[in-house]
Amino acid sequence: MNKNRITKLLVIAIILLTFGTVASNYAEQRAIDNSKIPEDMEISKEFQKWITNMKKRIDVSADDFRLKEKNEVFNSASLTITSASNEAANAAHLAKLAEYKNYQNVRFSPNDFQFLDYRHQRRSDGFRRYLANDVYFHGLDDDKIIDTKILTCDLEFNCYFDRGFFVDNHVFVISEFSRNEVLPACTFNEVCTYTIKLHVFDLINSTQLVYESKPYDLNLSEMTQYF
């Protein structure tokens, strides 16, 4: 093999090695970035309001949350979809929007066509009954009217949904306090170890991303009295 050919092969090998290293670093950085709360969510007005309120009680920041799991948004077992072109369904939809404006612990999207109901009580949407540990979603998505139990949690883990808010008309967030173990038993008035979960729902991409904080020792009754 002549000297020129060897030189060319070495140059090609160096270029490929450099490209591979850059690509690997880029992929690693992307993985790191994707594990954190999305930037557009972090800078949103509603998230900043939530995190500022939380900082008054515990030492927490957006960087404390990491991606834990990814799911699809809707569960067909608890989903009702009707066409907005159905006059009766659309009239019922508009009436429901007006009714739920009067309730506390109900949050509306910026366009007022959707809402999250995380009231801590048994209730019904006219189709299904919901428990205190269920979050109910109702809204218009394109030409579809959606009613569903969007989220539930296990009371054995002392779960508590403290806030729901919309980042925009297609992305909304539900925050949850919960323990990661049932035993030893813990009441709301005891200090126990909890994490905070942020459930981020994206209707366009049909995804639910769950971000979890570091553990905190909290008395949940003292925390929830502010919510």
pLDDT one-digit tens code per residue, 64-99: 999 999 998 887 778 889 999 999 999 999 999 999
The residue type at 173: V
* Strand ranges inside 43-118, DSSP E: 66-72, 79-83, 106-108, 114-117
pLDDT tier, 34 (very low <50, low <70, confident <90, very high otherwise): low
Residue among 72, 82, 71 at smallest CA distance from 147: 82
pTM over 0.85: no
Number of domains in the chain: 1
Instruction: Please answer whether residues 174 and 199 qualify as being in contact, where contact means their C-beta atoms are separated by less than 8 angstroms.
Output: yes
Question: In the predicted model, is pLDDT for residue 127 greater than 90?
Answer: no
pLDDT one-digit tens code per residue, 162-186: 899 999 999 999 999 999 887 788 8
H-helix or E-strand containing 161? strand 160-166
The residue type at 66: R
pLDDT one-digit tens code per residue, 180-216: 887 788 888 899 999 999 999 999 999 999 999 999 9
- C-alpha to C-alpha distance for 56 and 53, rounded to whole angstroms: 6
Residues 6+ apart with CB under 8 A from 135: 116, 117, 118, 149, 150, 151, 152, 161, 164, 174
pLDDT tier, 30 (very low <50, low <70, confident <90, very high otherwise): very low
| Backbone phi and psi for residue 90, each to the nearest 5 degrees, phi listed first | -65, -40
Domain range for 196 is 3-26+35-224
Cβ-in-10-Å burial (0-12, 13-18, 19+) of 115 comes to: buried
pLDDT one-digit tens code per residue, 129-146: 899 899 999 999 888 999
